[in-house]
Structure 1
Amino acid sequence: TCSGIVPLRYRKDKISITDFGGVGDGRKVNTKAFRAAIYRIQHLKRRGGTLLYIPPGVFLTESFNLTSHMTLYLARGAVIRAVQDTWNWPLIDALPSYGRGRELPGGRYMSFIHGDGLRDVVITGQNGTIDGQGEVWWNMWRSRTLKFTRPNLIELKNSKEIIISNVIFQNSPFWNIHPVYCSDVVIHHVTILAPQDSPNTDGIDADSSFNVCIEDSYISTGDDLVAIKSGWDEYGIAYGRPSSNITIRRITGSSPFAGIAIGSETSGGIKNIVAEHITLFNMGVGVNIKTNIGRGGYIKNIRISNVYVENARYGIKLAGDTGDHPDAYYNPNALPIVKGIHIKNIWGVNVQNAGSIRGLKGSPFTGICLSEINLHGYRTWKCSDVIGTSLKVSPWPCSELRTTGG
């Protein structure tokens, strides 16, 4: 399990949002209360940190920043709900590894709950809810009236010793949980919900981060359930911050996109990833490793095992032609290196296409090892520019994955 990655601290000092004028009637906007409570935690610096208690009720608020050495604790029945006034939403700089907002040039809207340069932050409770009320943002995306990239529900940047557990995240405007340039992050026992047709509502996107553990969670959204990323084309190459030492375990969920995804933003490099005991229903793709020309970087030492997929378009997809570019300045000769991908013990029922593995002409995918894979599909494998091995794979894999033994 994830235990031991981040020490769980007992907070003797406890305050409630109601001490700062917070009212959970679903109407009053509590931005001042949240900012005042967090200001107090930041400036009093109580030994061992402080717990901010959110009692049952619906606490409407604008976006706010967390601080170090704090626990945001949502009681059973507590809801922290985002206001919907998109015109007033604060803007922040683009991430340096992306060079611009992910959706549109320029800056981006700040995440609903935000943290930058923090240490020892816990978001937990008794399965209270953080509600992004994202529909207004999804509709702006659909109608192409967005001015900047939509806000994530939670983003923690340049931070370490993070625990997120026992909270329901719902209706994020964009990605749900986004640790970026972080280390020592544990996300477990969370529930993440968004409609299947909600655009880009990825569940957990670990981005240019080190030592991350994601486990025991249920995710049903409109995009990839768990994705590992590390920067976008020339900006990600220049920033050079990989994602590494990431474990994903016991995730259940459904999505029209991927269950476990790597990429497509892989420019800082992605290595040492383990994903195991994953249960997926009604999926686009079970396991999707995706990158593109211009990305550069690498994807290596990836181990994925014990995945059950029921009702999917593809069981397994590895692709070198996926994802857009930030601008015209990417280097088309910056080809990613994909090697050492081990996929084992995959069982699929009602999978339309067993798999597709398409590397790049100038940079074939190598060391692709498939073993004990049973995808009861209608269509078989498609492969190009790939070198690897396979053992006990049904339906019969492509000739590029020369069969070893049995």
Structure 2
Amino acid sequence: MTDDIQKALNNCSVGKAVKLSNNGSMNLFLSGPITMPNGVSLIIDKGTVLRAVNNANTFDNGSKNCGTLNGDGKGCKALITFYHVSNGGIYGKGEIDGQGGQILNDKMLSWWDLAQQAKSGSQNQNAPRLIQVESSENIKLYQITLKNAPKFHAVFSRSSGITVWNIKINTPANARNTDGLDFMSSNNVTVASSNISTGDDNIAIKASGGNGSSTDMSFLNNIFGSGHGFSIGSETKDGVYNIYVNGLTMKGTDNGLRIKGDRSQSGEVSNIQYNNVNMSNVKNSIIMDTVYENKSGSTKANWHDVVYNEITVFGQSNIIFNGTNAIAPLKATMTNMHLPDNIMWNIKNTNINK
């Protein structure tokens, strides 16, 4: 069915969309990697599922590493790729299912099994992302449900004008390396009214590798379930600026508001505003950690002008400010904080203005 979907997309006029709809009991479209043409969108109708085929070789990018622990972990194509395109998106109340927990018929293990093997052996698993947006602009995700990604759900790299609105990400907490939304060296981003539960960072913002900074992003009225929280880093070498969060609820998330880095890829992070955030059953509610991993390197963190306002925490939790690897003391402002009496503080090389 991959070829049929790709052919329909290729023949679609700019400004139009290909729609996948159910026909009675026929509501499933199985597909391997597909590429979105310029100016074309994909609609997945309510009750309809676009499902990744559970075969590693189908997603191999020519390296013959997909489905293995060999190489750099980049041996697979994404299920859906936007590359150097403008004005497209994925819409509809249907689902995109990556089948991350299903046994691959050519490997006799699942993508998530492979991720666990990579962890135990300190290696990188070659597994596909659900959606990859690269060097593109004005791309939208609306209403769609993403679930069971083999690896990251949606990655936006070196892209601008991104809108993610009213989507759902629903993947188990034990599915390793299944970030919800990742923004890498991108700008002009809005994520609103979305519900994200996953096995790694719910949202991550990164900037490294000489690809440019990540700037000017708004995150409005979102809900997180399982996951590692709202993260900036760990790669911030190229700078992360002007991040605005307003209206975020986190329930049972491992971490809350987290900025992380180490000596390998730390840089400047500034003008970060967190407003109206409610957390319950969150182990580490606020973290600024410059020693996220014990990696070698010569970079130092320069994190300042970070504002926490109207933050409410329910239940036992930790607040960690670790500026050990900072070029100067970390600088944060905290106002209208509603914290439990037994909250644990751990502060190193940090100036907090209250």
- CA-based RMSD of the aligned residues comes to 2.1
Q: CA deviation at 1:379?
A: 3.8
Is the CA contact (8 Å cut-off) linking 2:74 and 2:127 kept in structure 1?
A: no
Which amino acid counterpart does residue 223 of structure 1 have in structure 2? D
Q: CA deviation at 1:112?
A: 1.0
CA 1:130 to 1:373, structure 2 compared with 1: closer, same or farther past 3 Å? same
* One of 149, 174, 191 as aligned partner of 2:151: 174
Helix, strand or coil: the match of 1:356?
strand
| Counterpart residue number, 2:126 | 149
| Counterpart residue number, 2:84 | 117
Helix, strand or coil: the match of 2:281?
strand
CA distance in 1, matches of 2:41, 2:206: 27
CA 1:139 to 1:106, structure 2 compared with 1: closer, same or farther past 3 Å? closer
| Counterpart residue number, 2:17 | 51
* One of 306, 329, 334 as aligned partner of 1:370: 334
| Counterpart residue number, 1:344 | 309
* One of 207, 216, 222 as aligned partner of 2:199: 222
Identical aligned residues as a percent: 24
| Counterpart residue number, 1:333 | 298
4+ runs of 1 displaced by more than 6 Å? Answer: none
Q: CA deviation at 1:163?
A: 1.0
Which amino acid counterpart does residue 322 of structure 2 have in structure 1? R
| Counterpart residue number, 1:128 | 94
Please give the residue correspondences for 1:292-371 in structure 2 after superposition, counting only pairs within 5 Å: 292-323=262-293, 332-353=297-318, 355-361=319-325, 363-371=327-335
- TM-score normalised by length of structure 1: 0.78
| Counterpart residue number, 1:34 | 5
- TM-score normalised by length of structure 2: 0.89
- Write the deviation string for residues 232-275 of structure 1: whole angstroms up to 9, x where unpaired: xxxx2xx14110000011111212421x1111121221000001
Q: CA deviation at 1:88?
A: 3.2
Is the CA contact (8 Å cut-off) linking 1:352 and 1:377 kept in structure 2?
A: no
| Counterpart residue number, 1:198 | 175
- Write the deviation string for residues 49-99 of structure 1: whole angstroms up to 9, x where unpaired: 221010121101111111111110111111100001013322279xxxxxx
Helix, strand or coil: the match of 2:253?
strand
Gaps of 5+ in 2: 64-68, 102-109
Matched, 1:164 2:141: yes
CA 1:139 to 1:206, structure 2 compared with 1: closer, same or farther past 3 Å? same
CA distance in 1, matches of 2:258, 2:50: 33
Matched, 1:189 2:160: no
Q: CA deviation at 1:276?
A: 1.1
* One of 207, 211, 223 as aligned partner of 2:188: 211
Higher strand content, 1 or 2: 1
Gaps of 5+ in 1: 1-29, 94-101, 391-406
Is the CA contact (8 Å cut-off) linking 2:89 and 2:141 kept in structure 1?
A: yes
Which amino acid counterpart does residue 285 of structure 2 have in structure 1? G
Matched, 1:249 2:189: no
The structure with more radius of gyration = 1
- Write the deviation string for residues 335-382 of structure 1: whole angstroms up to 9, x where unpaired: 1211111111110111332x0101135523433111111221634211
Is the CA contact (8 Å cut-off) linking 2:202 and 2:227 kept in structure 1?
A: no
CA 1:177 to 1:256, structure 2 compared with 1: closer, same or farther past 3 Å? closer
Is the CA contact (8 Å cut-off) linking 1:240 and 1:267 kept in structure 2?
A: no
Is the CA contact (8 Å cut-off) linking 2:302 and 2:326 kept in structure 1?
A: no
CA distance in 2, matches of 1:131, 1:201: 13
| Counterpart residue number, 1:138 | 112
CA distance in 1, matches of 2:316, 2:137: 39
CA 1:81 to 1:370, structure 2 compared with 1: closer, same or farther past 3 Å? same
CA distance in 2, matches of 1:119, 1:130: 22
CA distance in 2, matches of 1:369, 1:290: 18
CA distance in 1, matches of 2:222, 2:301: 28
CA distance in 2, matches of 1:189, 1:361: 38
Q: CA deviation at 1:34?
A: 1.4
**Which moved further from structure 2: 52-61 or 360-369?**
360-369
